[in-house]
Amino acid sequence: MEPIAKKSLIGQRVPKPDAPDKATGRTTYINDMVLPKMLYGKILHAGRPHALIKNIDVSAAKALPGVHAVLTAADVPEMFFGVGRDNRPLKGGKVRCVRDEVAAVAAESEELCDEALRLIKVEYEDLPAVFDPAEGAKEGAPLIHDNKPGNRSLAYQFKHGDVAAAEASSDVVIDSVFNVHYVTHCCMGTSCVIADFDCDGKLTIYSQTQYPYNFKMDLAPALGIHPGDIRVIQPPVGGAFGSKLDVYPFEPVCALLAQAARRPVKLTFSREEEFINAPTRQPVRIHMRTGAKKDGTLTFRKVDCLLNNGAYTSWGPTVPFVMMRTFSSHFRVPNVDIDCRAIYTNNPYAGSFRGYGNVQATYATSIHADMMAEKLGMDLLTFSLKNAQKSGEVTPQGARLNECVFAECLQKAADVTDFTAKHARYAAERNKPGRIKRGIGMASSIHNAGGAKIHKSDGCGTMIKLDDYARATVITGASEIGQGIDAVICQVVAEELGIPMSDITIVNNDSAIAPWDVGVHASRTTFIAGNAAQRAARKAREQMLNAASKRANMPADALDLREGWVVHDSDGTPVLKIDKLLREMHFSREPELVMVSEYYEPPSEPENKEHVGDMSAAYSHAVHVAEVEVDTETGEIRIVKFTSVQDVGRVINEMGLEAQLEGGIVMGIGYALSEELKIVNGQVRNPSFRDYKVLTAPEIPPMELHFIESHSSTGPMGAKGIAELPTIVPAPAIANAVYNAIGIRFFDPPMTPEKVARAIWERDSKLAAAE
């Protein structure tokens, strides 16, 4: 036998194991699933923002042949659920937003459900409504929940240092109000759930959830059953992006229908329902004051945030957790004073969404950096480098920036795009004649990259077993929602066990099998589940090497596992095939199977009451540069080139990394330029892809991606979490580029052609009038 050299899979380009089935249409998504004897469910939504329910008559719907259950609030116990425990599966008494679920039916087909819904007669008495949080906070505003005086929902404050003194000592102060808008996730698979009770009252729920374990805890109170009696099965889903990080009313409603009908029930949203009823990104009014010294040193940030809570509290109004981190740590900010309030209104409500508040906060901090640099007469790179933290610094909220390569990212981004020279050139050409103006803009941000300890644990459980043929099964709590964790886990485990990736099966779709994990959020899964998988794999490796050591009569640390063989670590000489070793271990007088488990908890700490704590096990930065062309007549913006430089810790799967970055950037560009859920008087005005514009292939610009490897001491193989920064940074990079091109700031994305054309026209009309 030839010796087997040591090779690493880490940093290679590895296709996602689920990709071929998805690309060829073989995958059965939850939306495709049909269970025997399954019924269909549908919800009657209020369609009005604020009204008393005077009467509901369901008799005709109940009498329709083929209808198996019709439910209203009167039929189910009054159970509250949700982040703010202010939501109910079915609403009685009054409705507070267009989404409100007033009745639900289960029938033999979706068409019958529609017919049954038409037969339900609801009498409403409309109430005065409030849609603007500033109005909602005023005395005498319509009260949305009786037990929420002043319509006050969640509130957050963080203070550090002395902002007043810092302002007094500042040479330059800028003050702006940003209004960031509603967007929605636009998952390819619309919301869908299948609920099935057995005769003992135990619920199996087929769900798109991205947090299966706490999902049980959150769903149980809406149904009045024990969380232990819920089994969550996760079939493949068509996207989540944070929209499946909470329980939403359609899920308990479907379970209640299944309970009432004693049959499995499937409930799926139409695309129109999805636009109206699925969570949005949290809109925020951000009032920010920033100060600096003449030499460019930032002195303070004072931030006031007003959040439109909507009618109920999902994760949306908790985004200040992350926004405050950005306000206090995007650049070195010695003094900060942040005040955030969410006010109930009769609008639809927001959930979590990739970037989680940081998309909103970075729009403000990165535009202010550009404005400050201009005001100081410095170039943005110099200004940014001056205020970029270095490794070892601790932020006002207690984040320890280990392995911090912010400055390297900034420098690299500027170098590869020729940023400073181009920026000066385009600014000089701004006022010359010409219809098309070019601009270049830079933005940056920081994000947690080693999980986020916002729950009691931020851990992930993993079990590995090997069979007699050296095939491994990895049973992990980490959910695959399309982000690519299966590939990463295969790589990490294959690397430790010396077996091919194709010999590894991942099981992570059944809460009755896989151990606990907090969920797919906070850019955490590669970091946390990767660490858990690596540790579990090392236990299996140790067991195998110990067994091999006895058989080979060599110390275990002189052996290695490579390409299906136990080999000499020193020169790669093959000793024994791994499958043979496993069989010998199994079928011996002291039989042993390789089956190991690990629960990994990252070395992070929850925030204290003052919002201080090193809540992530790693942090990372990204710098984006957008080069744009603005048509000054039509207002159309074309992105000529998009460059991203990101601290990724270490590249594990280069292909997965590129896909996450490209997808995230496209989402970020949509946020900047075209996507907006238009909500007027509580109604969603554009509930279709015709009028809600996501980017399509022709508008996606050429991208250049650079990975900076900072080698996290805590990450798996040195990796950091990467998935949110790509969505966080594009919008302000584009806004800064547009400013460079035409000299106009946009504080209220998206920068639609109309908005841009209008701003140019208004400016030019004013100039003309002045002449």
Partner 1 sequence: MSQVPKESAPLEGYAAPSTVEEALRLIADGDATILAGGTDLMLQTKPGGRLPYRRKLVNIRRISELRGVSEKDGRMSIGALTTITDIDNNDLLNTVTPVLPQTANCFASSQIRNAGTVGGNICNASPAGDMIVPLLVLDAEVELSAWTNGAVTTRLVSLDKFFTGPGRTIKQPNELLTRIVFARPDKKLFAGYIKSGPRPALEISTVSAALSAIRDNGKLSRVRIALGAVGPTVLRAVKAEAYLEGKTVTAQVAAEAARLAAEDASPIDDVRATAWYRRHLIQVYIKRLLENDSQG
Beta-strand relationship, 683-684 and 679-680: antiparallel
Burial class (CB in 10 A: 0-12, 13-18, 19+), 145: middle
Q: Least CB distance from residue 374 to partner 1, whole Å?
A: 27
Which range of residues in 113-121, 333-341, 391-399, 496-504 is near partner 1 by CB under 8 A? 113-121
DSSP string covering 438-493: EEEEEEEEEEE-S----SS---EEEEEEE-TTS-EEEEES---SSS-HHHHHHHHH
Q: Least CB distance from residue 734 to partner 1, whole Å?
A: 13
Distance linking the first and last C-alpha atoms of the chain: 88
Binders of partner 1 among 200-239, rule CB under 8 A? Answer: none
Q: Least CB distance from residue 726 to partner 1, whole Å?
A: 21
| Residue 236 three-state SS | coil
What DSSP character marks residue 190? P
Which range of residues in 56-64, 212-220, 272-280, 363-371 is near partner 1 by CB under 8 A? 272-280
| Residues 716-751 as b or e (16 or more Cβ within 10 Å = b) | bbbbbbbbbbbbbbbbbbbbbbbbbbbebbbeebbb
Q: How far is CA 437 from CA 467, 642, 674, 740, in A?
A: 64, 17, 20, 9
Amino acid at the residue 752: T
Beta carbon nearer to partner 1, 103 or 725: 103
Site string for partner 1, 679-698 (x = CB under 8 A): ----x-xx---xx-x--x-x
Q: Least CB distance from residue 768 to partner 1, whole Å?
A: 14
Decide: 289 and 175 in contact? Cβ < 8 Å. yes
Give the one residue of 58, 205, 254, 276 binding partner 1; rule: CB under 8 A: 276
Residue 315 tokens read as 């994760």
> Is 117 a residue that touches partner 1 (CB under 8 A)?
yes
Site string for partner 1, 59-98 (x = CB under 8 A): ---------------------------------------x
> Is 47 a residue that touches partner 1 (CB under 8 A)?
yes
Residue 166 tokens read as 């810092």
DSSP string covering 217-228: HHHHHHHTS-GG
Beta carbon nearer to partner 1, 426 or 692: 692
Beta carbon nearer to partner 1, 435 or 589: 435
> Is 273 a residue that touches partner 1 (CB under 8 A)?
yes
Residue 609 tokens read as 């009451």
**Residue of 701, 682, 168, 622 whose CA lies nearest to 410:** 622
Angle at 761 between CA 760 and CA 764, to 5 degrees: 85
Q: Least CB distance from residue 764 to partner 1, whole Å?
A: 12
Q: Where are the alpha helices (DSSP H) in 85-236?
A: 110-119, 133-136, 163-168, 212-223
| Residue 758 three-state SS | helix
Binders of partner 1 among 406-465, rule CB under 8 A? Answer: none
Q: Least CB distance from residue 191 to partner 1, whole Å?
A: 14
Q: Least CB distance from residue 669 to partner 1, whole Å?
A: 11
Q: Least CB distance from residue 696 to partner 1, whole Å?
A: 6
Q: Least CB distance from residue 251 to partner 1, whole Å?
A: 18
Beta carbon nearer to partner 1, 273 or 495: 273
Beta carbon nearer to partner 1, 45 or 453: 45
Which range of residues in 43-51, 152-160, 365-373, 477-485 is near partner 1 by CB under 8 A? 43-51
Burial class (CB in 10 A: 0-12, 13-18, 19+), 11: middle
# of chain residues touching partner 1 (CB under 8 A): 34
Binders of partner 1 among 612-651, rule CB under 8 A? Answer: 631, 633-634, 636-638
> Is 753 a residue that touches partner 1 (CB under 8 A)?
yes
Beta carbon nearer to partner 1, 98 or 292: 98
CA atoms within 13 A on the CB side of 598: 22
Q: Least CB distance from residue 718 to partner 1, whole Å?
A: 40
Beta carbon nearer to partner 1, 111 or 415: 111
Q: Least CB distance from residue 270 to partner 1, whole Å?
A: 9
**Residue of 206, 188, 338 whose CA lies nearest to 271:** 188
Q: Least CB distance from residue 62 to partner 1, whole Å?
A: 16
Q: Is the backbone of residue 484 left (phi > 0), alpha (psi -120 to 50) or beta?
A: left
> Is 271 a residue that touches partner 1 (CB under 8 A)?
no
Question: How many other CB atoms sit within 10 Å of the CB of residue 199?
Answer: 6
**Residue of 106, 73, 104, 71 whose CA lies nearest to 87:** 73
Which range of residues in 45-53, 228-236, 365-373, 701-709 is near partner 1 by CB under 8 A? 45-53
> Is 311 a residue that touches partner 1 (CB under 8 A)?
no
Compute the distance between CA of residue 750 and CA of residue 748 in angstroms, rounded to an integer.
Answer: 6
Beta carbon nearer to partner 1, 73 or 245: 73
Decide: 494 and 188 in contact? Cβ < 8 Å. no
Beta carbon nearer to partner 1, 44 or 536: 44
Give the one residue of 174, 454, 744, 757 binding partner 1; rule: CB under 8 A: 757
Beta carbon nearer to partner 1, 42 or 422: 42
Beta carbon nearer to partner 1, 639 or 708: 639
Q: Least CB distance from residue 32 to partner 1, whole Å?
A: 21
Query: 267 pairs with which residues across the strands?
Result: 41, 193
> Is 272 a residue that touches partner 1 (CB under 8 A)?
yes
Burial class (CB in 10 A: 0-12, 13-18, 19+), 294: exposed
Q: How far is CA 458 from CA 565, 620, 719, in A?
A: 36, 18, 17
Q: Tokens 């990394």 label which residue?
A: 657
Which range of residues in 420-428, 526-534, 594-602, 671-679 is near partner 1 by CB under 8 A? 671-679
Angle at 554 between CA 717 and CA 585, to 5 degrees: 80
> Is 673 a residue that touches partner 1 (CB under 8 A)?
yes
Q: Least CB distance from residue 347 to partner 1, whole Å?
A: 15
Compute the distance between CA of residue 487 and CA of residue 10 in angstroms, rounded to an integer.
Answer: 11
Give the one residue of 20, 754, 763, 765 binding partner 1; rule: CB under 8 A: 754
Beta carbon nearer to partner 1, 306 or 628: 628
Q: Is the backbone of residue 465 left (phi > 0), alpha (psi -120 to 50) or beta?
A: beta
**Residue of 350, 353, 246 whose CA lies nearest to 307:** 350
Beta carbon nearer to partner 1, 295 or 764: 764
Give the one residue of 10, 40, 45, 399 binding partner 1; rule: CB under 8 A: 45
Give the one residue of 699, 704, 709, 748 binding partner 1; rule: CB under 8 A: 699
> Is 748 a residue that touches partner 1 (CB under 8 A)?
no
- Which residue spans within 602-712 are E strands per DSSP? 619-631, 637-647, 679-680, 683-684, 703-708
> Is 761 a residue that touches partner 1 (CB under 8 A)?
yes
What DSSP character marks residue 206? E
If residue 53 lies in a helix (H) or strand (E), which one and from where to where? strand 51-57
Which range of residues in 39-47, 544-552, 658-666, 730-738 is near partner 1 by CB under 8 A? 39-47
Phi, psi (rounded to 5 degrees) for 335? -130, 130
Q: Least CB distance from residue 429 to partner 1, whole Å?
A: 21
> Is 384 a residue that touches partner 1 (CB under 8 A)?
no
Decide: 507 and 514 in contact? Cβ < 8 Å. yes
Give the one residue of 6, 226, 294, 758 binding partner 1; rule: CB under 8 A: 758
Helix axes 380-387, 358-376, angle to 10 degrees: 120
> Is 744 a residue that touches partner 1 (CB under 8 A)?
no
Binding site for partner 1 (CB under 8 A): 44-45, 47-48, 98, 114, 117-118, 272-273, 276, 631, 633-634, 636-638, 673-674, 678, 683, 685-686, 690-691, 693, 696, 698-699, 753-754, 757-758, 761
